[in-house]
Structure 1
Amino acid sequence: MSESGNGVLRFAIIWGGQTVSKLGSALTGFALGLWVYGLTSSVTDFALISVLTILPGVLVAPIVGVLVDRWDLRNAMRLGDCGAGLVTLVYAILISLGQLAPWHVYVGTAIASVSGAFQRTSYTALTPALIPAKHLGRANGLVQASDAAVPLIAPPLAGFLLSATSLGTVVLIDFISCLAAITTLSLIRSLPAGSGAASDAGTSALQQALEGWNYLKERRGLLGLLTFSVITNCSLSAMQVLLPPLVLDIANPAVLAGLLSTGGLGLLLGSVVMTAWGGPKNRIHGVLGVGMGLGTVMVLAGLFPTLRMLGYCTFMAGFCIPIMDASSQAIWQGQVPAALRGRVFAMRGMIAWSVQPLAYLAAGVMADHLDGVSFSIPALFGPLEQLDARSRGIALCFIAAGLLALIAAVRGYTARHVREVEETPPGTTFTEAVSPPSR
């Protein structure tokens, strides 16, 4: 078998193991969240689990990037899987002894978040080491497919397992899934040359971590692409946090669940399409062009907030996300040298993830501030006029978030260093790439 064929096979094996592990972790996360809420009846305690799922991994991301660049990528992924497996094993022991308490879940969730940072960063760096550049879009679409399928499958499956068996059984399944991921990594005996650790003797870990940021600063195209991603993440986060109260103003929780499932189906279908298609040849169109579509459907959802329109827009937003993300991921993987991938991808992830809680807060404050503010609505937008003051404010936030994404996409197209980011050879600045050679 050719080297590229070997790489694809090895990627498929790793993808299968990581998908199983993601599903196991999602089962445990959902089940433990229900357990904590059932025990404490505290929304704050329940929300704390969500915060601890994200925040610790964001905080350690720069150091994780340094370690991923130093180590064999398989060992970095093994560490992440072993960390998650160890947490799950401790849960199982505590459950069997009848000693599990909410604070155990908080600590375990934080440790699992750090382990997840190792998994995500090394997984992203590993993909271009195994997959030929022309197939990166398809490979990233496959990763997006597993990310879309797991949230659809995990809640109902966890609910069934909890009703049919016990919390201990769910945790045991998660532990087995971690072992499966570790086993698949053990089947991969070698990686292509050039994806190993970089030599950084004489520099501190902090200095090495900052090299990821320094690389971004010198490459305006990637920095512009990151700025676009941050803005669209803010818009999507606003949509995510404001959709439930908007829907519940005009319908019941069952309808809301159906709308959220529609979004999940859009995610899955978009991932499947991206896996089969691979995205546009000029991948920036898969980012900025699809980003314009995403902004448009968000504006439409705010202007015409009927259940039918909200369902359509939720599905289309879900469909756009994996195409946009997989195209962006392929650009990054092709533009960052192997020796810096861990640091750059970790820095990128830290910046992109850190804005999410801020966007949640800003969207809520903005919607509350618009509650009760009087303004006239053109007759064309009758569904918007029929909402109460609070939901009308939420709909206006949808419009603002969509316009923000649209403006960011248009700005990306008008900026040459972003529009032509793929034409900049890895390891060079945009200025160096477009300047004529010296004589």
Structure 2
Amino acid sequence: MSGARADIVRFAFIWTASLLSSVGSSLTAFVLGVWVYQSTGSPTQFALVVLSGMLPGILIGPFAGVVVDRFDRRTVMIVTDSLAAVATAAVAVLIWADALAVWHVALAGAVGGACGVFHLTAYQAMTPLLIPERHLGRANGLMHLATGVQIAAPVLGATLLAAVGMVGVVAIDLSTFGVAMMALLLIRLPAAVLRPNAAAERPAVLEDLGAGWRHLRSRAGLTALVAALTGFNFTFAVAGVLVQPLILSFAGPGVLGVLMFAGGAGMLAGGLVMGAWGGPRKKVAGMTAFMALGGVFLVLHSLTPSPLLVGFAAAAFLFTLPVVNGCAHAVLQSRVEPALLGRTMGTAHALGSAAIPVGYLLAAPLAEHLLNPALMPGGALAGSAGLIVGVGEGRGIALVLLLDGLLLLGVAAFLAALPALRRLDEQPALVAVT
């Protein structure tokens, strides 16, 4: 088997291991979220638990990049995945002992979120050293299948929760971890993939924390690319936190489940298409075009309270996500020095993900306390914005989604006008180490 083909097979094993682990983690996150909401009846506590799993990963991103560039990347994945599995096993024991509390769930989520960033950073840093540049779009599209699985997890999770209970679902999660761990342990990876430039002298850790940011700033267009991902993540977060309340404003829980499944199917389809296609040759232009399409589909959410329209718009919007992220990550991975991939990808992840909690925290209060009352019959906006999105229950949410879509269209237009970003499509890729 040729070296290039062998590396693709190695990537396939790592991808399968990561996908299996992600499926299990998504199921556990779903059933624990259901437990928190049913136990407390508090959307605020539910939201805080979700954020507890997200914020540590954002804050630790640059440090994860330093670790990934300094140590054996497979070892980093194994150690951090094992820590996450220990936290999950502790939750299983607490469930079995009927001693689970909300703070236990939040703590386990924080541990899992932090460990997940180490795994993702190592995964993204190894990928361009295994996959030729022409296939990076395909690889990143396949990597985003895990996100589609997470969105579709409620359908399978609800079925498993009824069949095997919470302990059974967590046990399934731990079994997927075991399979993924075996794959990581058995696969043979070149030393240059695990520790590129291992002999190089390393600066102090505190100085090294800023290396990813300095590298992004030193290469024309990469800072703008990360800013584009940050803007896209913000609009995605706004849509993600509001689409379920929007659907429930005109339909029941059964319809919500069907439409959530449709959205997850759209993202899965996007990942599969990106995996087969690889994206356009000009990745930055492709990312910009699919951002603009995403903006159009977000606007469609707001036009009328129709399950059919919202189901189509949600699936179509989520279809664009793997394409946008796949193109952007392919450009980043192919234009960063191999020895700096961990720190650069860790910094890019931290900057891009920081917009997600901001979107969560801004969108819901804006819709609930300001725009929903203004779009009720006789409200301040009933005679203006109400002519576009309608008047009544949930139309304030629709207006936020309309503005969200227009914002994404504006981001796409701004990116299309940036010469430095367009020039990234013409720059030669750095040679990957295989």
Q: Normalising by structure 2, what TM-score?
A: 0.90
Q: Does 1:250 align with 2:222?
A: no
The 2-side partners of 1:35 and 1:364 are apart by 22
Aligned residue in 2 for 1:172: 171
Q: Does 1:402 align with 2:405?
A: yes
Aligned residue in 2 for 1:431: none
| Contact 2:230–2:354 under 8 Å retained in 1 | no
Alignment of 1:292-331 (within 5 A): 292-331=292-331
Aligned residue in 1 for 2:58: 58
The change in CA–CA distance for 1:395 and 1:126 in structure 2 (over 3 A counts) is same
The 2-side partners of 1:217 and 1:322 are apart by 25
- Aligned-residue offset at 1:319: 1.2
The 2-side partners of 1:359 and 1:88 are apart by 28
The code of the aligned residue for 2:220 comes to R
The 2-side partners of 1:303 and 1:156 are apart by 27
The 2-side partners of 1:173 and 1:253 are apart by 26
1:205-255 deviations in Å (ceiling 9; x for gaps): 121010111111222311111111111211222222222333333333322
Aligned residue in 2 for 1:284: 284
| Contact 1:234–1:355 under 8 Å retained in 2 | yes
- Aligned-residue offset at 1:121: 0.6
The 2-side partners of 1:84 and 1:366 are apart by 35
The 2-side partners of 1:303 and 1:41 are apart by 31
Alignment of 1:63-74 (within 5 A): 63-74=63-74
The 1-side partners of 2:384 and 2:84 are apart by 52
The 2-side partners of 1:406 and 1:10 are apart by 38
The 2-side partners of 1:168 and 1:88 are apart by 10
Q: Normalising by structure 1, what TM-score?
A: 0.89
The 1-side partners of 2:397 and 2:159 are apart by 34
User: Which deviates more from structure 2 when the two are superposed, residues 190-199 or residues 132-141?
Assistant: 190-199
The change in CA–CA distance for 1:40 and 1:246 in structure 2 (over 3 A counts) is closer
- Aligned-residue offset at 1:132: 1.1
| Contact 1:70–1:197 under 8 Å retained in 2 | no
1:120-151 deviations in Å (ceiling 9; x for gaps): 11111111111111111111111122331343
The code of the aligned residue for 2:93 comes to I
- Report the count of equivalent residues: 423
The code of the aligned residue for 1:297 comes to F
CA RMSD of aligned residues (A): 2.3
The code of the aligned residue for 2:317 comes to A
The 2-side partners of 1:167 and 1:393 are apart by 36
The 1-side partners of 2:202 and 2:136 are apart by 34
The 2-side partners of 1:219 and 1:158 are apart by 44
- Aligned-residue offset at 1:200: 6.3
- Aligned-residue offset at 1:350: 0.7
Equivalent residue for 1:384, pick from 380, 389, 395? 389
The 2-side partners of 1:116 and 1:364 are apart by 26
Aligned residue in 1 for 2:377: none
The 2-side partners of 1:164 and 1:17 are apart by 25
The change in CA–CA distance for 1:200 and 1:366 in structure 2 (over 3 A counts) is farther
The 2-side partners of 1:103 and 1:302 are apart by 36
Q: Does 1:411 align with 2:402?
A: no
**1:207 is paired with a residue of what secondary structure?**
helix
Alignment of 1:102-251 (within 5 A): 102-152=102-152, 154-191=153-190, 193=192, 196-198=195-197, 201=201, 203-251=203-251
- Aligned-residue offset at 1:98: 4.3
The code of the aligned residue for 1:119 comes to H
| Contact 1:130–1:192 under 8 Å retained in 2 | no
The code of the aligned residue for 2:12 comes to A
The code of the aligned residue for 2:403 comes to A
